[in-house]
């Protein structure tokens, strides 16, 4: 069960993967982060170091605990270093081909056939990833939210092949080991949160696209009029506009509902590399990830 999971692997050390690795290390787990190569592994290492230091500076974590957590982390560019893991969490780019290839490789690398392979996908079918392995009953969705060290929710997603033991073990792991609140979802595009959230974000993008209101006005309306902690366009920028577009496309592919269709402005911004905070500009502009000035939509 979850108490027996002490060796965790994370595939992908980007924004989500590094956050997942951090919470695992802070929970006392032996954690290996595998990136595409040594250079990317060093970048992931720096990302976690900065996050831990930020937690210390904000008084959320003491210095000794931060140092202990960092000492539990290994960053590598060699997938073979995941061979002895009891749980591997995939957090690579939201692309079906890339994720499927990753799971097929993990199935060959992770030696223990009882080890669980989890995906942090926010929208792709868990069953499709499980079918790329010879252990579909041990493949499950474990969807964290950004920023992972801060947000308490995890979605546990079972496919038609996922065993009850796998679901219960992962749910207990998220709850009892990581201290997260776990909710279960069926294997449908968007799961619970994004199936509700993404149409709202797309509606805000359409409003900006039409010139109905500015990005600043839309966000202020929802923050001050509805007491939302963050407006929809700021939130889209935080998530990453490429990720929002990918989730929307998955939702539309599955349900064929117009409210899930990505607006043309969103597609153009992704093509232009204006992805939000991580690139310095989306619906707003940012300086080192902090909001600077609102960007007016094209008139």
Catalytic residues: 122, 143, 155, 194
Tokens 């994004």 — which residue?
Answer: 194
Q: Which stretches within 58-122 are classed as H helix?
A: 63-71, 96-109
- CA neighbor of 233 nearest in space, from 271, 285, 195: 285
The rounded radius of gyration (Å) of the Cα atoms in the chain is: 19
- CA neighbor of 148 nearest in space, from 15, 252, 36: 15
Map residue 100 onto helix, strand or coil. helix
Alpha carbon of 99 to those of 61, 102, 133, 185: distances in Å?
33, 5, 12, 20
CA dist 42 and 37 (Å) reads: 9
Q: Which helix (H) or strand (E) holds 139?
A: strand 139-144
User: For the chain, how long is the longest CA-to-CA vector?
Assistant: 58
Q: Which helix (H) or strand (E) holds 249?
A: helix 241-255
* Side-by-side strand order, sheet with 87-90: 73-76, 30-34, 7-11, 87-90, 116-119, 139-144, 153-158, 181-186
Tokens of 262: 């990505």
What DSSP designation does 177 have?
Answer: I
């Amino acid at each position: 069960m979850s108490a027996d999971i002490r060796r965790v692997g994370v595939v992908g050390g980007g924004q989500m993967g590094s956050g997942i690795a951090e919470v695992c290390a802070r929970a006392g787990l032996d954690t290996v982060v595998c990136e595409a190569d040594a250079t990317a592994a060093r970048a992931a290492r720096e990302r976690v170091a900065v996050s831990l230091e930020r937690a210390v500076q904000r008084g959320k974590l003491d210095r000794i605990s931060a140092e202990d957590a960092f000492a539990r982390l290994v960053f590598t560019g060699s997938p073979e270093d995941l061979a002895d893991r009891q749980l591997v969490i995939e957090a690579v780019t939201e692309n079906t081909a890339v994720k499927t290839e990753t799971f097929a490789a993990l199935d060959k690398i992770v030696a223990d056939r009882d080890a669980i392979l989890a995906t942090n996908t926010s929208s792709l079918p868990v069953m499709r990833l499980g079918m790329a392995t010879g252990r579909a009953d041990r493949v499950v969705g474990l969807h964290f939210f950004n920023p992972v060290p801060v947000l308490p929710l995890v979605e546990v997603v079972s496919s038609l092949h996922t065993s009850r033991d796998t679901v219960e073990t992962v749910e207990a792991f998220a709850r009892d080991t990581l201290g997260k609140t776990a909710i279960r979802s069926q294997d449908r595009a968007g799961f619970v949160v994004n199936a509700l959230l993404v149409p709202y974000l797309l509606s805000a993008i359409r409003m900006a696209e039409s010139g109905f209101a500015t990005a600043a006005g839309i966000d202020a309306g929802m923050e001050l009029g509805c007491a939302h902690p963050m407006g929809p366009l700021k939130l889209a920028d935080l998530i990453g506009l490429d990720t929002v577009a990918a989730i929307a496309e998955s939702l539309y592919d599955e349900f064929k509902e117009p409210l899930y269709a990505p607006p043309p402005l969103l597609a153009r911004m992704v093509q232009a590399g204006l992805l939000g905070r991580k690139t310095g500009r989306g619906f707003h502009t940012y300086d080192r990830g902090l909001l600077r000035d609102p960007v007016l939509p094209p008139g």
